[in-house]
Every structure is written in C-alpha cells, then in structure tokens.
Structure 1
Amino acid sequence: MNHLIVYAHPNEDSLNHKILQTAVDALKAGGHEVVIRDLYKMGFNPVLSLEDTKALKQGNLPEDIRTEQNHLTGADVITLIYPIWWAGLPAILKGYIDRVFAYKFAYTYNGEGTVDKLLTGKKGVIISTYGTSEDYYEAIGMEEALKQTSGEGIFEFCGVEVAEQLLFGGVNKSVTEQERREMLERVRSLFSSF
C-alpha cells in the first residue's frame, strides 16, 4: 500500500516525532511505500491567498499545491500526525488543508446542492497529542469534538474513510514514560495491521 504521512510538529525531540518514526518503521517493516510530508521542514506556506483562489478557479495550480495533491492522489492511506494547539490543528496543517484539499480536487458541489466526495476510496488515520488530561477533555466533550472536526469535518467530508483516530492526552506532564511507551506501542500495532 502507498501511505502518505502529513506531519506537523516543529520539534524533533517531541512525542509527535517519535510517533512519526514509529509509524514509518512499522509500515516499512510491512513492505509499504511511505511518503512523509514534514510541513515544518518543508517550510510549507499555509496561507491561502487571493492569488491561490484565483489560480485554483482557473485550473492553474500553484506548484506547491500541485505537488501535494499528487501525493494525495497516489496514496491509499493518508495519515495526519499533529499536536492539538488551542483546541485545533496547528496553523501550518490547517493551511495545508485549506490550500491542498481544494474545491474540485477533494470535493465539489453537485447540481442537487450536495457534496461529491472526490477522495472516496482512500483510508485515513489521525493521530493527535495534547497536553491537557484525557479525563478533562473527555468530560467536557473535547475529544468527541476533535474527532468530529478532523475525522468527519475534513476526511469524511472528502470521502476519506477514517480507519483510526488516536488521541493521546496529558503528554506534557501527567503521563509517565511507561505510558508514553504504551502510546507508541499502540501506534506500532496500528500501522503493523495494514
């Protein structure tokens, strides 16, 4: 299978980076093709500009958008790995979604006013970390909201079937090294199952 991993964390010493490496190692051990798009290393421009929107309407894709769309097109499985910052995606990843999951590429509206999902047939995995405790996020409904926003609001809106969504909370202070190892084992197990 062809796997595309879109990664959004600036710190190579982070748990997110360990999650990325664990996923890649498991996939490669299973003989899968893996493409990693490390948005911070790439210096990806997250700003959807007026020029971008005009170019997209005219079918003249900016080269950086065309490159990313080609990676999406070639992927059987799309994985997003990122931290939750201020109850949402990091700006660089939100901008990636804004620019790359574009109208007429990822979705379109049909004559009945409903959505045609243009990425149907692909699977998606979302792995997010956050510093707040899991108990608190679960109690206030934030975990469910995060799943709806990214899983349903992004992937499923475009036809990508969410295969798994892992949310790891309390990663800043409250989890132990043993719990971190268990998180990474869940990641390894997930990607080994493909």
Structure 2
Amino acid sequence: MFSLVHSFEVMYARRRALIAHFCILVLSVLASRSPPSGFRDPKSSAVDHVNALIGNGGDTPNGSGGMIPSTAPPFAMTRWVAQTRQNYVSMTPYNVTDTAIHGFQGTHQPAIWMGESGQAIVAPGAGTVRSVFEERGMKFSKDSEVITPSYYKADLDAIEGGKILAEQSATSRVQVSPEAF
C-alpha cells in the first residue's frame, strides 16, 4: 500500500512540475512579443529638441561634464559619436571645440572615468587608406554640423580633395551611416 501511495505522489509531483514549466514557457513567449512600454520609441519627436552638447566643450572632461553627443536612443547597446580626439580614460572622443573628425566611433563607454575597450571606429575617405589617427583627421564646417540624439551630419573636407557628406542615425542595436562623396 505504501509503495502505491508513494508512486501516485511522485506521478502527481511530476505532473505539477510539467504544468509549471509549460506555463513558464507560454508566459515567456507572450512577454517577449513586445518590449515594456519604457523601452519603446518615444511617441513624439521631443528628443530632437535636446541640446546634445550640454556637458561637452571644456578644456578638460571634468571642466565640461564629460558628456559625449552620441547618436542613439536612451539605453542603447552601442552609442555612435563623431571622433575628434583619441579616446581613453578621462577623455571624451568628441569635443565641440575641435575642428577635425577622425572617424565615427561605436562606443559602449558609460562614463569617461571607465575608459573604453572594444570600440569600433569607422572612417570615411577616398584615396589612400590612413590608419594612423593623426593622419586621417578631416576638417569640417561647424556651420554644416547637425547634432541631435537621433541624427548627426557634417560636411567633411576629404584629405585628397573634394567633400564627404557624413550622416548617421542609430537604433538601439544598429547604426545607419550613409556617406556621400
């Protein structure tokens, strides 16, 4: 009699565990269909009225707030920024006072005092490939520069002559960067 009761208890426990796992699976699938409302795109374009240069432009990162005007939605995995200077601990890759762009950097750097590792840098250009940072800087017109959290644009003077229109926009995972030569 004891073994019969014990086998029913084991069978009942297994059935409950199977039902619980099935419910968790169904709820996980349903929950993953749409992100929580806080992670959806904003319903207005108010984000484009943000001054992306607040906290940038001082002679030292601590003197200006250490912020970079990145092109990405809030909480993006990768943020993209025009690189006007080399990036390392306590230095921002962009400073509004600089006059040359050396490329566009995809960064995961959350704050200037943490440094960067594993960034990706894309540099538009025509002619000779210049991999050395100091050699690939292209002058650009501050009048042509447009900086918002969702869009960046600058007219670059190509090193070997001509112009390059550099634009970028980004989602939380992808950068779109058409270049016109």
The TM-score range, normalised by the shorter chain, is under 0.3
Larger Rg: 2
TM (norm. structure 2) is: 0.26
- Higher helix content, 1 or 2: 1
Tell which has more relative contact order, 1 or 2 (C-alpha 8 A, sep 6+): 1
